[in-house]
């Protein structure tokens, strides 16, 4: 038996909810693993949405910064498309009530973040953009009768035949699974940050979308590129609270226990160098026991209380007064540039499956995402996917409902916490900020061993293992350093490798099993 719906959206972060609203009044069903607003990275985003809103700024300049940050492998057409569409979506969010910060004249207040040539990040009360946008969208969703949200529902598995979607296996609050069929499916279930010990992502964001799509045969792109945020707080809290890059945009500086402002010797833009460069410098300082800290005292002072409410609240939780004290920091997994490969219209390699948000790899981010392009991409591709799904269904080309589906026998219980910690340790130690071939091969063997010991019990954990295996395999295969992927055995860029990569789970397994 299966339930039949028109459009099924898997995930209730920014990408999922914005798609659902774009599709209204057409009926859609949204799966939200937790209560709406909880468990989605979007709500934790502090920076905001990057868009050329200022008259002196242009989408072309924004696209160029995106391409430069992406370190040679951004798809220029996608960058042009997304940056052109940016302003329209910011205005749309403002229209539905997002309380963006404004100047006394009513213009948008814009933050400057690393590798942007212009202050072009629209924000809410300094660092509240993600939470405020999500609150606005949730209110809209709750007032839109065409949207059905199933809270507590987690997608475990795709049923695919002849490379076409037939259904999604869903478990509600760890109860026996059932199948939902739809005419079109959107996967918008987030990234993979919590596959690592240090992360700025919610615990539920741990490669589940990537793993599920890959097990169903989807092509995965750029899996090796994980972005580590340079300034997560190192205050003993898991996940690590984020100290937004906008603080450095306002002039906050980094130094170590020797009083050395080390970024001055690393890059001409010092603390505002591309994110991967600052992350590696901070990682080296941390590993060397030099205790890197972020100092907001002179640049921001007491304004931090009103202008960076989240950061101030986290500091208070950790017993730090950032007005008079520095903030210990460490790089932490923040964003996965890789994901399910999509075409210009957000379609995956599986018929009937669209993907948006961090779960997707559109080609916008290349090897290193430009700050605040994540929420932007989620908005633009949510709208693109909505249009594509609608047209497909209206043309009578949606997926057929099948009557003889068999629900696969899946493990639907919660994951084993000890196994998760082992997996996160493998990823942090061997597939982290600094990598090498020996460590990556060992990571693949260790993940295999985890699979032997814990695989097949919890499909959620299997999806995590698959995602981790794909990231490690793609990192093993890329014999160079570029953007967020740095290998000590191949420390330079290789022009022959100046391209995006694709991998399937079958290929990753073949590599794993050959080592
Ligand atoms: C930040 O606020 O530093 C993060 C913004 C982003 O990752 O886009």
Q: What is the 3-state secondary structure (H, E, C) of 266-295?
A: CCCCHHHCCHHHHHHHHHHHHHCCCCCEEE
Q: Against a cut of 0.75, is the pTM above it?
A: yes
Residue 379 in contact with residue 18, Cβ under 8 Å? yes
Indicate if ligand 1 lies below 6 Å from the C-beta of 245. yes
Q: In this structure, what DSSP letter does residue 116 have?
A: -
* Residue 326 pLDDT exceeds 90: yes
Catalytic residue list contains 275:
yes
Q: How far is the CA of 310 from the centre of ligand 1 (A)?
A: 13
Residue 195 in contact with residue 471, Cβ under 8 Å? yes
Q: How far is the CA of 126 from the centre of ligand 1 (A)?
A: 12
Q: Which domains does the chain have, with CATH numbers?
A: 231-331 (3.90.700.10), 410-514 (1.20.58.100)
pLDDT value for 414: 78
Residue 282 to residue 236: CA distance in whole angstroms? 17
Indicate if ligand 1 lies below 6 Å from the C-beta of 252. no
In three-state secondary structure terms, 228 is strand
| CA-CA-CA-CA dihedral for 494, 496, 502, 506, to nearest 10 | -90
In terms of residues, how long is the chain? 515
Indicate if ligand 1 lies below 6 Å from the C-beta of 46. yes
Residue 398 to residue 433: CA distance in whole angstroms? 42
Q: How far is the CA of 318 from the centre of ligand 1 (A)?
A: 21
* Residue 95, C-beta contacts closer than 8 angstroms, at least 6 positions apart: none
Indicate if ligand 1 lies below 6 Å from the C-beta of 246. yes
pLDDT value for 443: 98
* Residue 422, C-beta contacts closer than 8 angstroms, at least 6 positions apart: 446, 450
Residue 51 in contact with residue 376, Cβ under 8 Å? yes
Q: How far is the CA of 46 from the centre of ligand 1 (A)?
A: 6
pLDDT value for 2: 74
pLDDT value for 222: 98
What's the mean pLDDT when you consider all of the chain?
A: 96
Q: Write out pLDDT tens, residues 264-282.
A: 999 999 999 989 999 999 9
- State which ligand 1 atom lies nearest to the alpha carbon of 47: 2
Indicate if ligand 1 lies below 6 Å from the C-beta of 368. no
The structure tokens 């989408």 sit at 59
How many C-beta neighbours within 10 Å does residue 28 have?
28
Nearest Cα residue to 215 out of 514, 432, 461, 445: 461
Residue from 13, 14, 43, 45 whose mutation best tests the ligand 1 pocket (most atoms within 8 A of CB): 45
The structure tokens 């130690």 sit at 429
Residue from 42, 47, 191, 484 whose mutation best tests the ligand 1 pocket (most atoms within 8 A of CB): 47
Residue 321 to residue 300: CA distance in whole angstroms? 13
Q: Is 165 exposed, middle or buried (0-12, 13-18, 19+ CB in 10 A)?
A: buried
Nearest Cα residue to 111 out of 63, 64, 45: 45
Indicate if ligand 1 lies below 6 Å from the C-beta of 200. no
Residue 279 to residue 102: CA distance in whole angstroms? 31
* Residue 27 pLDDT exceeds 90: yes
Lowest-confidence pick of 128-132, 209-213, 330-334, 404-408: 404-408
* Residue 51, C-beta contacts closer than 8 angstroms, at least 6 positions apart: 62, 83, 86, 87, 89, 90, 120, 122, 376
Residue 208 to residue 36: CA distance in whole angstroms? 18
- State which ligand 1 atom lies nearest to the alpha carbon of 371: 8
Indicate if ligand 1 lies below 6 Å from the C-beta of 483. no
Q: How far is the CA of 355 from the centre of ligand 1 (A)?
A: 22
Residue 432 to residue 487: CA distance in whole angstroms? 10
pLDDT value for 411: 79
Share of the chain above pLDDT 90, in %: 90
Residue 367 in contact with residue 386, Cβ under 8 Å? no
pLDDT value for 1: 60
Q: How far is the CA of 376 from the centre of ligand 1 (A)?
A: 12
- Split at pLDDT 50, 70, 90, the class of 39 is confident
Residue 70's alpha-carbon distances to 14, 93, 119, 121, 227, in angstroms, are 23, 27, 19, 18, 11
Residue 26 in contact with residue 145, Cβ under 8 Å? no
Residue 304 to residue 301: CA distance in whole angstroms? 6
Q: Write out pLDDT tens, residues 428-461.
A: 999 999 999 999 999 999 999 999 999 998 999 9
CA neighbours closer than 13 Å in the CB half-sphere of residue 136: 20
**Choice between 414 and 291, residue whose per-residue pLDDT is larger:** 291
Q: How far is the CA of 387 from the centre of ligand 1 (A)?
A: 28
The structure tokens 């100047």 sit at 103
Indicate if ligand 1 lies below 6 Å from the C-beta of 47. yes
Verify cis geometry, omega within 30 degrees of 0, for the bond prior to 455: no
Choosing from 123, 215, 248, 275, which is the catalytic residue? 275
- Mean pLDDT, residues 198-203 taken together: 96
pLDDT value for 143: 97
Lowest-confidence pick of 111-115, 222-226, 448-452: 111-115
Q: What six digits make up the tokens of 176? A: 């026996």
- State which ligand 1 atom lies nearest to the alpha carbon of 46: 2
Question: What are phi and psi for residue 231, nearest 5 degrees?
Answer: -125, 70
Indicate if ligand 1 lies below 6 Å from the C-beta of 372. yes
3-state helix, strand, coil in the chain (%, to 5): 40, 20, 40
Indicate if ligand 1 lies below 6 Å from the C-beta of 66. no
Indicate if ligand 1 lies below 6 Å from the C-beta of 191. no
Nearest CA to ligand 1 atom 8: 372
Question: SS3 letters for 32-44?
Answer: ECCCCCCCCHHHH
Q: Write out pLDDT tens, residues 57-89.
A: 999 999 999 999 999 999 999 999 999 999 999
In three-state secondary structure terms, 165 is strand
Strand 339-341: give its sheet, edge to edge.
360-361, 339-341, 220-221, 502-503
């Amino acid at each position: 038996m299966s339930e039949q719906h028109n459009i099924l959206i898997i995930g209730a972060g920014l990408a999922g909810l914005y798609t659902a609203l774009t599709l209204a009044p057409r009926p859609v069903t949204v799966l939200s693993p937790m209560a709406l607003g909880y468990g989605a990275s979007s709500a934790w985003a502090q920076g905001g949405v990057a868009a050329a809103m200022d008259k002196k700024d242009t989408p072309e300049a924004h696209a160029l910064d995106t391409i430069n940050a992406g370190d040679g492998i951004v798809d220029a057409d996608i960058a042009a498309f997304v940056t052109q569409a940016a302003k329209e979506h910011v205005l749309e969010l403002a229209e539905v009530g997002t309380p963006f910060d404004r100047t006394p004249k009513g213009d948008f207040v814009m933050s400057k973040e690393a590798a942007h040539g212009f202050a072009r990040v629209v924000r809410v009360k300094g660092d509240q953009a993600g939470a405020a946008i999500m609150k606005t969208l949730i209110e809209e969703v709750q007032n839109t009768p065409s949207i059905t949200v199933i809270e507590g529902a987690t997608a475990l598995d795709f049923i695919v035949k002849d490379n076409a979607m037939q259904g999604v296996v869903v478990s509600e609050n760890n109860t026996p699974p059932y199948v939902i069929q739809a005419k079109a499916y959107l996967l918008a279930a987030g990234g993979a940050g919590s596959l690592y010990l240090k992360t700025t992502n919610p615990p539920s964001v741990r490669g589940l979308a990537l793993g599920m799509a890959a097990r169903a045969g989807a092509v995965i792109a750029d899996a090796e590129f994980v972005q580590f945020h340079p300034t997560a707080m190192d205050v003993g809290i898991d996940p690590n609270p984020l100290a937004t890059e906008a603080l450095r945009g306002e002039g906050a500086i980094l130094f170590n226990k020797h009083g050395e402002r080390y970024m001055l010797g690393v890059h001409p833009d010092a603390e505002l160098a591309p994110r991967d460069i600052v992350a590696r410098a901070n990682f080296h300082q941390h590993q060397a026991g030099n205790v890197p800290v972020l100092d907001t005292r002179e640049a921001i002072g007491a304004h931090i209380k009103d202008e960076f409410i989240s950061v101030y609240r986290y500091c208070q939780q950790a017993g730090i007064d950032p007005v008079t004290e520095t903030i210990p920091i460490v790089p932490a997994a923040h964003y996965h540039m890789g994901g399910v490969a999509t075409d210009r219209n957000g379609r995956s390699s599986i018929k009937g499956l669209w993907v948006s948000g961090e779960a997707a790899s559109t080609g916008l981010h290349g090897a290193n995402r430009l700050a605040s392009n994540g929420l932007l991409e989620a908005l633009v591709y949510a709208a693109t996917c909505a249009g594509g799904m609608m047209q497909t269904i209206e043309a009578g080309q949606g997926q057929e409902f099948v009557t003889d589906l068999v629900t696969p026998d899946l493990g639907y219980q919660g994951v084993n916490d000890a196994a998760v910690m082992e997996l996160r340790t493998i990823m942090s130690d061997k597939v982290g900020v600094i990598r090498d071939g020996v460590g990556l091969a060992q990571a693949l063997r260790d993940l295999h061993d985890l699979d032997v010991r814990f695989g097949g019990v919890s499909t959620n954990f299997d999806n995590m293992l698959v995602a981790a295996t794909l990231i490690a395999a793609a990192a093993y295969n890329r014999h160079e350093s570029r953007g967020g992927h740095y290998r000590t055995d191949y420390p330079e860029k290789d022009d022959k490798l100046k391209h995006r990569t694709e991998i399937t789970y079958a290929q990753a397994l073949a590599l794993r099993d050959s080592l």
